[in-house]
Chains A and B, each alone.
Chain A
């Protein structure tokens, strides 16, 4: 028995850790086109902003692979999989046999065809090497940056660039920032905070052309504006990194289609993380949920099943915790009501700049947005996961001191005493 994992991020960790709980012996091989041991992609903005150094980018100890008996093939790209002969083919021609395969190749930057994209100092913002290159450009004197995309990674990029003393303009096609995690009202609150730190926003427009002689000099927007700049960062979003599998018998919709055991349509082939399309428990449909905890959980589920222990994961839904400067927010599930039978609870404490909004459906929480009032938010996340009926306590959910004391004693005791299992 030989386990092979393509990809080396958190889904791979989940898989390795699950396998090793039940199978301490059989070989595991991890293949990654990046040369680094497992590091945190969300931390790249912290690296760029100077908050973490290289040593803190790594999410597991240096002896992680050794301890878990994992053979690594780093800096080698999987270019094809032969599902019939059960082999992964690498860019140097090597063929790696597998008995059980996990595809955990994550996401790759989505970049629409843009004139001038090939110019020097035009970057994407996903990998460690991306921020190392941006860092070099800053050290070489870059002063003005344009970030394309006001989503999670675009704004983390903008925050890091401001911390490096650049002038930063963020261009966003939608009418609001952080459209994947906030509604219009919430996004306005966050936007005004970011503007206080000097980030300039150009909403409802996009990049038309990047102009420069060898190196980027200007960005022309679709609204006709032209911005001077030394750096352009594309951070529009990610799409599953699965081009090398297209045209094979592997079933792909937006991502690799998996069931709740993370099995694909091909026997002994599993997928997890940002390249996989699994079940979204809140939206009640198959979706790619490109978030970190989901990737770990899917990888872990795949690992158990690959090692012969049946496990299912059917409680995936989007959730995000993110902060910019001193604004912190936690959001989960539905953030823009998608049907008429959704009840809205909202509280905006303007003095504290704290905002809490919760969506309920049939007495159950289906989504929330908490800004600057995030303590114990996990209790609400967990209520989504459990489908807990909050009808009798719903107005307390907006209060910062909401806690177990708001639950009937029996339920509270069960959660605390029995809750050790979580």
Chain B
């Protein structure tokens, strides 16, 4: 049993705040109860070390549909089997995480992920993917989505 985040494309407005909060939650500058406008300031202040969001927003010109896609934390995760370093692994709580210190950026996970949910992270050095923010209690993207277009479920 693992938690997974489910996007609701019918109510997503494509505001990208999930991305902003995701970056913030994984940055080294986090503090509790941050507001969006403060984030923008932090972005500017720390733009040289800004991490890549661990979330992927799909949007296409000519369509109104948008949604945010996170790692599905697959039961039978192909990324963990393709990883040549052991960086991509399942934790005991069921999450799949990438140990960015170990990752060498060979992108075997990108080759293997059926959802295209793994990104090349900061400076394209290591894979970047959703870790469900379990340390924060609740994923930052879900908590801060203004339109409740993301939902965590135990499946």
Contacts and interface: CB of A to CB of B under 8 A. Distances in A.
Contacts of B118: 378
A43 B81 contact: no
Contacts of A42: 84, 106
Interface stretch (B15-23, B33-41, B55-63, B132-140): B55-63
A42 B115 CA distance: 25
B146 interface: no
Contacts of A381: 111-112, 114
Contact of B77 (A14, A322, A422): A422
A413 B7 CA distance: 9
Interface stretch (B24-32, B42-50, B67-75): B67-75
Interface in A368-422: 374-379, 381-382, 385, 401, 403-406, 409, 413, 415-417, 419-422
A375 B116 contact: yes
A419 B114 contact: yes
B84 A43 contact: yes
Interface residues of A, number: 47
A374 B112 contact: no
Given A375-B120, A378-B116, A422-B77, A40 B111 contact: no
A221 B123 CA distance: 41
A416 B104 contact: no
A377 B115 CA distance: 9
Nearest to A403: B58
Contacts of B105: 323
B18 to A, nearest CB: 15
A404 B78 contact: no
A40 B82 CA distance: 12
A293 B114 CA distance: 14
Interface in A310-364: 319-323, 328, 330, 332
Interface residues of B, number: 42
A367 to B, nearest CB: 13
A22 interface: no
A412 to B, nearest CB: 8
Nearest to B78: A422
Nearest to B79: A378
Contact of B110 (A14, A330, A417, A420): A330
A297 B60 CA distance: 35
Q: Is the interface of B mostly helix, strand, loop or mixed?
A: loop
Interface in A263-295: 292-293
B147 interface: no
A46 interface: yes
Contacts of B81: 14, 293, 296-297, 300
Contacts of A56: 85, 102
A409 B112 CA distance: 23
A406 to B, nearest CB: 8
Contact of A422 (B58, B114, B119): B114
Contacts of B104: 43, 46, 51-52
Nearest to B103: A56
Contact of B108 (A292, A405, A422): A292
Interface in A44-80: 46, 51-52, 56, 58-60
Nearest to A331: B111
A42 B9 CA distance: 40
A378 B113 contact: yes
Nearest to B57: A403
Contacts of A293: 78, 81-82, 108, 112
B84 A292 contact: yes
Contact of B112 (A58, A378, A401, A421): A378
Contacts of B58: 403-405
Interface string B80-97: 011111100000000000
B74 A374 contact: no
Nearest to B107: A321
Nearest to B59: A405
Given A293-B112, A403-B58, A416-B6, A374 B107 contact: yes
Contacts of A403: 58, 60, 116
B110 A422 contact: no
Given A376-B113, A404-B115, A416-B69, 5 more contacts: A321-B110, A328-B107, A330-B110, A378-B78, A378-B111
19 contacts: A46-B104, A52-B104, A321-B108, A321-B110, A323-B106, A330-B111, A377-B111, A378-B110, A385-B114, A405-B63, A405-B65, A416-B6, A416-B7, A417-B6, A419-B74, A420-B4, A420-B72, A422-B76, A422-B114
- Which 3 A-B pairs rank lowest in CB-CB distance, beginning with the nearest? A376-B116, A59-B86, A382-B114
Interface of B: 2, 4, 6-7, 9, 58-60, 63, 65, 69, 72-78, 81-86, 102, 104-116, 118-120, 155
